[in-house]
A = this chain, B = another copy of it.
Amino acid sequence: VAAGAVGVAPIGVGVDQELISAVPSHNPTFVARNYTDAEVAYCSAQPSPSSSFAARWAGKEAVFKSLGVKSKGAGASLREIEILNDPETGAPTVTLHGAAKAQAEAKGVGKILISLSHSETVAIAFAQAAKSS
Contacts and interface: CB of A to CB of B under 8 A. Distances in A.
Interface of A: 1-19, 61-62, 65-66, 68-71, 86, 88-91, 113-120, 122, 124-128, 130-131, 133
A61 B126 CA distance: 14
Contact of A68 (B7, B89, B117): B89
Given A8-B10, A9-B9, A65-B115, A15 B126 contact: yes
B131 A18 contact: no
Contacts of A16: 115, 117
Query: Chain copies in the assembly?
Result: 3
A12 to B, nearest CB: 6
B115 A89 contact: no
Nearest to A118: B17
Contacts of A126: 13-15, 126
Given A9-B10, A71-B90, A122-B122, 16 more contacts: A2-B4, A3-B5, A4-B6, A4-B133, A7-B131, A8-B10, A10-B113, A13-B113, A15-B115, A15-B126, A17-B118, A17-B119, A65-B115, A68-B89, A119-B122, A124-B124
